[in-house]
Amino acid sequence: MSILDKFTPLAEARKGLAGLGADPFAVTFDSVSSPAEATIDGRPVLILGSNNYLGLTFDADVIADGLAALEKFGSGTTGSRIANGTFGGHHALERRIAEVFRRKHALTFSTGYQANLGMLMTLVGKDDTLLIDADSHASIYDGARMAAGQVIRFRHNDPDDLARRLRRLEGAPGETLVVIEGIYSMLGDRAPVAEIAAVKREHGVTLLVDEAHSFGVLGPNGLGAMEEAGVYDDADFIVGTFSKSLGSVGGYCVSDLDGFEILRLACRPYMFTASLPPSVIATTLKALDHVENRPELRQRLAANADRLYSGLAKAGFKLGAQVSPIVSVRLPDIPVAAAFWGALLAEGVYVNLALPPATPTLEPLLRTSVTAAHSFAQIDRAIAAIVAVGNRLGVIGADAVSSAQ
């Protein structure tokens, strides 16, 4: 008997996957030369699964600012925000994030995961109710588990189901917080934010929107799905990450709510962890400048997303419902998905393999994501490789049409 025995089924599942010739958890990039190119086991690969939406990780100005901060302030803060871990840069970044989002307040976290964990567990007290979309990210589920109040799931992207559940709560004590994501990370589908905002207004509840995959991607100023749909002011809290379009690591929450600043003394995932290193603060600040000043990056990203999505849809793959920088190929079962993923890697194309229960349904996904740094030639090469492997495995055809369900 061992304390680890409970993980035997998980270990068996992993072994089974490796037996199918795919071990996605063992992938190691031994060098990375651009947002689109790396080597794995010494062989060059095209990166088609990175969340590096604007391709800023190798931007010369971003790197220069990071190096300067590293030299000036050292490698790390060695402390938490409430002790010795607040440098001028942390305040500067919070002011800048608030300015970009046109909100009064901003709180930064050391990861995006911690931002959701911290906000949900802190905002939802024992008399409050938290409503989350059924397809929420693990960080939202985990924040919900740590929240003192009741947690209720509503059907994915279903404003009517949300409204029904809010009606059932009428007369309940406490506040109600609704949590949605701008773009959902597995299939790349957007939330129907205009409809959800209308439900929110009708019921007078508080809305938190996670724009992790949509900041820098959607909206006239790149502020995300709420801005794109013209309901930006309905988000009481916007949570996001520095680790996708901004190319570094860390998380944030912005809000106009009076009294927000007290969270610095109440939110444990903010308080009890080392703050972001100065070099990360500096690269993030520079990346924010690019989001603001280079809308052409978003246009390029959208063009790349459209090219990949339409190329795969035309070939007959079953995809997510909407074009977005996340393009997922829906496959019938794990053996096919594992074989597909392994064959693509052998062809020099790296994508993410997403398996249930991390996926919205029992279908495994080959999850790809594009960046503004991809050339059309690279996208076309990826499409050709995916189509060739798909044909070989017999997963393109009449019964694999692109659809929402």
Partner 1 sequence: MPVDMDIVDIIIAQLEKITPPGTRITPQSSIMGDLGLDSLTVMNFVMWLEDIFDISVPMDQIVEVESIADLAEALQKLGAKANS
Which are the catalytic amino acids?
185, 213, 244
CB of 193 to partner 1, least distance (A): 22
16 vs 356, beta carbon nearer partner 1: 356
What does the alpha-carbon distance between residue 153 and residue 262 come to, in Å, rounded to a whole number? 28
Q: Is 14 in the site for partner 1 (CB under 8 A)?
A: no
Q: Is 356 in the site for partner 1 (CB under 8 A)?
A: yes
Q: Is 62 in the site for partner 1 (CB under 8 A)?
A: no
Which one of 27, 40, 70, 169 is in contact with partner 1 (CB under 8 A)?
169
Q: Is 171 in the site for partner 1 (CB under 8 A)?
A: no
Q: Is 238 in the site for partner 1 (CB under 8 A)?
A: no
46 vs 117, beta carbon nearer partner 1: 117
**Torsional sign, CA 212, 214, 220, 222:** positive
Candidates 55-63, 289-297, 354-362, 374-382; binding stretch for partner 1 (CB under 8 A): 354-362
What does the alpha-carbon distance between residue 59 and residue 383 come to, in Å, rounded to a whole number? 26
144 vs 338, beta carbon nearer partner 1: 144
Which one of 104, 168, 268, 392 is in contact with partner 1 (CB under 8 A)?
168
Candidates 163-171, 275-283, 368-376, 378-386; binding stretch for partner 1 (CB under 8 A): 163-171
Q: Total residues contacting partner 1 (rule CB under 8 A)? A: 16
Candidates 151-159, 245-253, 262-270, 282-290; binding stretch for partner 1 (CB under 8 A): 151-159
Q: Is 146 in the site for partner 1 (CB under 8 A)?
A: no
Determine the residue type at 121: M
Q: Is 362 in the site for partner 1 (CB under 8 A)?
A: yes
Q: Is 126 in the site for partner 1 (CB under 8 A)?
A: no
Phi and psi angles of residue 81, each rounded to the nearest 5 degrees, phi first = -60, -30
Which one of 34, 51, 273, 361 is in contact with partner 1 (CB under 8 A)?
361
Q: Is 51 in the site for partner 1 (CB under 8 A)?
A: no
Residues near partner 1 (CB under 8 A): 134, 144-145, 150-153, 155, 164-165, 168-169, 356-357, 361-362
